Structures are given as structure tokens and as C-alpha cells.
Structure 1
Amino acid sequence: MNSSPGLVTVMLLLLGRTHGDSVTQREGEVTLSEGDLLTINCTYTASVYPTLFWYIQYPGEGPQLLLKAAKANDKGVNKGFEAKYHKETTSFHLQKASVQESDSAVYYCA
């Protein structure tokens, strides 16, 4: 993923469905300016309340666990990223207040 100086590119991929449970996130490439708010939406459907994860994959590397939450109202926080487990809206949206060029990566909700 090549980006111009001062731009941040994130790829959003949808992971498959497993045993009737699934996550849905926006797919495609998003380009932001450094300092912008990054928000990647993720919603889930599950028969029970799942543990939720965000993974990050930097260019040329394998996916790495970024953060997770195991129960409703938990908030995962790591490296300036955060995601709150909202049971009512079945969501686990990833945010970073001030995105940097070094955040250019592929992000997976699971």
C-alpha cells in the first residue's frame, strides 16, 4: 500500500460467516489525512454474546491482534485505538482520534 506523505490508507475486509455468527464492516479502501478521526464500523450477529476482536495487518506482515472485548460495555484500548462493545446496537466500532501515516494497514473485525 503506497500513500502520499501525510495520507493514511486503510483497507477494510469482511471476514466469513461461522456457525451462523457473523461480523459486518465496511469494505474497500479509505484514505484520510494525518490527524483525522478514523472510524471503522463493525456490527455483529450472534446467537450468544461473543468476544469481539480487531486485528491489524501492516504491509508485508501477518495479522496482529489490536484489541478485544469480552462482554458488553467493555472497551478495548491499544496504541491510541479504541472500540467499545455495545450490546444494544450489536456494534464494536474502531476509532482513533488522530490517525497517523504509520496506521496505514488492513483492519479486520472478528
Structure 2
Amino acid sequence: MFCSSSECKGEDKVIQTTGDVTATEGDAVTLNCTFETSYAPTLIWYKQEANNFPKYILRRDTIGTKDNAPEFDSNRFDAVIEDKSVPLKIQKLHVSDSAVYYCALRAASHLC
């Protein structure tokens, strides 16, 4: 982000309030992510398994873009931006879904 005046604020952030989740294979879970930004955001979810780099799951933005990585079928992994949150919903859990999930924010660059 480039700011050309004192009115610019670098206050973009995400907050994940969901702690450890225990669920049974076949269940559904929702992982929470809220965000704060002054700009049009793109929200991205990642999955990180032990001793591996984070894997891109999906991204959503406020203009309706929906993109899922091929290995994360949108029938099982979905998210919708709702006001200032973008919860990740995982359906029909598999044992292999066990991992740490991260929400990230990319705010559109603007001149202030």
C-alpha cells in the first residue's frame, strides 16, 4: 500500500478466534476469521500440515470472486465474505483435514 497523505491508515488485520476444534470424520466444521481494513479486501485461507509449507485453499473478495485450489473441492471447502468475516466451512471431514488453518488478508493497493 502506498500512502501519500496523513489520512492513510495501516490498520489492516485478521483475527482468528477459533481455537482447537475436535470433530468426527464426516462432520462439518466452521473456522472463524474476522478482518479489519479500509480497502476492498481479498481473503485467503491456507492449510498447514505438520512439517510442511502452508497450502493455498481458496480466496474470496468483495466483488464475488471465488477461487479454490484444485485439491480443495468447493463442495467441501467454502467461504463467503459476510460483513467483516470470512468463515471457512469444511464439509464431510476426512482424517486428512487435520491441520492448522490460516486466514490472510490482502487489501487492494490504493493511493490515499
TM-score by length of 2: 0.72
Q: How many residues align?
A: 90
Contiguous gaps of at least 5 residues in structure 1: 1-18
> Which residue of 95, 102, 105 corresponds with 1:101?
95
1:61 maps to amino acid: N
> Is the CA contact (8 Å cut-off) linking 1:74 and 1:84 kept in structure 2?
no
Q: Does 1:60 align with 2:82?
A: no
- Per-residue deviation, 1:60: 1.6
Letter in 1 for 2:62: K
Structure 2: where are the runs of 5+ without partners?
A: 1-9, 105-112
2:25 to 5, 14, 34: 34
Larger Rg: 2
In structure 2, relative to structure 1, the CA distance for the partners of 1:54 and 1:81 (3 Å cut) is same
Counterpart of 2:23 in 1: which secondary structure? strand
Determine the structure 2 residue equivalent to 1:3: none
1:28 aligned counterpart, secondary structure: coil
- Structure 1 residue 91 displacement after superposition: 1.2
Are the structure 2 counterparts of residues 85 and 74 from structure 1 closer, same or farther at C-alpha, using a change threshold of 3 Å?
farther
Structure-2 separation of matches of 1:68 and 1:46 = 16
Match for 2:13: what amino acid?
S
Query: TM-score, with normalisation over the residues of structure 1?
Result: 0.73
1: CA distance, partners of 2:64 / 2:28: 22
Establish whether residue 82 from structure 1 lines up as the match of residue 82 from structure 2.
no
Q: Deviation per CA, 1:20-46, whole angstroms, max 9, x where unpaired?
A: 011111243211111111100111110
Opposite residue 100 of structure 1, the aligned amino acid is H
